[in-house]
């Protein structure tokens, strides 16, 4: 579409339809936008836009609405984005920043992003390639029960309870904690998973006593728990907020609402969606309607951005909503939140 005026007409239709959720007619465009032409000229432009597939007439009224192709043309031609207000930037910083672990920060992030955009917000749990084990805490929970807590320097916290065959006293707990931290603290997560278990000191000690054998058995169990916890930090997960926002737009989806909600329950579907968007190689990736590969999301738009790359992470956060979306505001919010999260991970 080379005609600049038709591009302006399409932009006017998109902006008005997003604002009002009503088909847009030529008179409304003349009244709301300064294009310097008559309603008849606008009608001619609209007819051409409809013929080219950028707009459609939903019923017999004179109004038109954008198609997926029309939204795509609109998004591709956005040359400036509405900046976040100082209050919005402060809200992002205050809610996301702070002395909290990774789980809490990601949970706050999706709540902030959902609040800014009034849509569903998603964040992919980061795979932290350079993260190291910061500390392993061992806590006795009573006869035969030990809690193992893994803390990484990226703020991830994982925990697991193991069952021992015998009670373990406080002195033994302290000894096990010291030994396991000597073995694992400071090691990269990738190195822990990519190498065989460390040699067990007890193997060089012939004929250990009953207490030594019991302690060594406990150490083996804790080592195994640490390996499991390191693996858990690398599991692909998604955190979501704002599903209620989608429900409020339910009339826009009709019968397609149920498949969308069902897809939300399948994390693998959302992970595939974000992974496919990572292939776009753009700072901000936008998928509109049937550009989404999964049929359940064919009536939605998704705006996604990578975060944490400089901190050694590889993950994306996104906003999902109806195709009738305020794209400039949504793109600005996604970009800003991604930068805030990246800066926090980089500091960590």
Angle, helices 102-117/327-347, rounded to nearest 10 degrees: 160
Q: What is the pTM of this model?
A: 0.73
Which of 183, 210, 233 delimits the end of a domain? 233
Asked if 123 and 256 sit in the same domain, the reply is: yes
Shared domain check, 253 and 111: yes
Are 61 and 206 part of one and the same domain? no
Tell me the CA distances in angstroms from 144 to 161, 218, 222, one per residue in order: 10, 10, 13
Task: Assess whether 120 and 240 both reside in one domain.
Answer: yes
Does the residue 271 lie in any domain?
yes
* pLDDT for the residue 200: 43
**Are 228 and 166 within one domain?**
yes
Mean pLDDT value across residues 227-231: 87
**Neighbour tally for 53: CB within 10 Å:** 12
Count of domains for the chain: 3
The answer on 224 and 285 residing in a single domain is no
The range of the structural domain enclosing residue 102 comes to 86-127+236-347
Of 192, 217, 233, the last residue of a domain is: 233
Q: What is the DSSP string of 45-104?
A: HHHHHHHTTSEE--SSSS-BEE-HHHHHHHHHT----PPPPHHHHHHHHHHH-SS--HHH
CATH number, position 283: 3.30.450.40
One domain, residues 277 and 329: yes
CATH number of the domain residue 71 falls in: 1.10.10.10
Report which of residues 304 and 267 the model is more confident about: 304
pLDDT value for 2: 47
pLDDT band at 215 (very low <50, low <70, confident <90, very high): low
Looking at per-residue pLDDT, the higher value among 81 and 298 belongs to 298
Write the pLDDT tens digit of every residue in 65-109.
999 999 999 999 988 777 778 888 877 777 766 656 778 888 989
322 shares its domain with 196: no
Do 225 and 250 sit in the same domain of this protein? no
Taken in order 285, 286, 289, 290, the sign of the CA dihedral is negative
Instruction: Tell me, yes or no, whether 241 and 339 share the same domain.
Output: yes
Please report whether residue 211 resides in a domain.
Answer: yes
For the segment 18-72, what is each residue's pLDDT rounded down to a tens digit?
999 999 999 999 989 988 888 899 999 999 999 999 999 987 767 899 999 999 9
93 inside domain: yes
CATH code at position 171: 3.30.390.60
| Residue 168, pLDDT score | 79
Residue 241 and residue 294 share a domain: yes
Question: Residue 186: inside a domain, yes or no?
Answer: yes
- Average pLDDT of span 124-145: 83
Are 122 and 245 in a shared domain? yes
Q: Which residue, 201, 233, 265, sits at the end of a domain? A: 233
Residue 335, domain member (yes or no): yes
Is 81 domain-assigned? no
Q: Is residue 339 part of a domain?
A: yes
């Amino acid at each position: 579409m080379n005609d600049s005026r038709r591009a302006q007409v399409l932009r006017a239709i998109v902006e008005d339809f997003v604002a009002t959720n009503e088909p847009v007619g030529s008179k409304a465009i003349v009244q709301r936008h300064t294009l310097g032409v008559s309603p008849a000229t606008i009608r001619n432009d609209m007819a051409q836009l409809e013929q080219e597939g950028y707009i459609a007439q939903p019923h017999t009224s004179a109004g038109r609405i954008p198609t997926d192709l029309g939204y795509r043309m609109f998004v591709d031609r956005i040359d400036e984005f509405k900046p976040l207000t100082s209050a919005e930037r402060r809200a992002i910083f205050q809610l996301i920043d702070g002395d909290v672990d990774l789980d809490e920060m990601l949970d706050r992030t999706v709540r902030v992003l959902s609040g800014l955009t009034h849509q569903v917000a998603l964040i992919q749990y980061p795979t932290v390639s350079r993260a190291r084990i910061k500390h392993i805490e061992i806590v006795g929970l009573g006869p035969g029960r030990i809690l193992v807590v893994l803390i990484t320097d990226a703020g991830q916290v994982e925990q697991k309870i193991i069952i021992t065959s015998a009670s373990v006293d406080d002195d033994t707990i302290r000894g096990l904690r010291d030994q396991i931290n000597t073995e694992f603290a400071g090691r990269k997560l990738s190195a822990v998973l990519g190498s065989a278990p460390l040699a067990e000191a007890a193997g060089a000690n012939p004929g250990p006593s009953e207490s030594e054998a019991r302690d060594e058995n406990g150490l083996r169990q804790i080592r195994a728990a640490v390996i499991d916890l390191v693996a858990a930090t690398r599991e692909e997960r998604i955190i979501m907020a704002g599903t209620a926002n989608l429900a409020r737009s339910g009339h826009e989806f009709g019968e397609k609402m149920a498949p969308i909600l069902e897809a939300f329950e399948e994390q693998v579907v959302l992970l595939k969606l974000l992974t496919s968007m990572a292939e776009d190689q753009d700072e901000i990736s936008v998928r509109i309607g049937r550009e989404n590969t999964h049929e359940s999301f064919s009536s939605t738009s998704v705006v996604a951005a990578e975060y944490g790359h400089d901190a050694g992470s590889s993950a994306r956060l996104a906003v999902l909503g109806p195709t009738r979306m305020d794209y400039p505001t949504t793109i600005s919010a996604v970009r800003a939140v991604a930068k805030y999260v990246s800066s926090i991970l980089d500091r960590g």
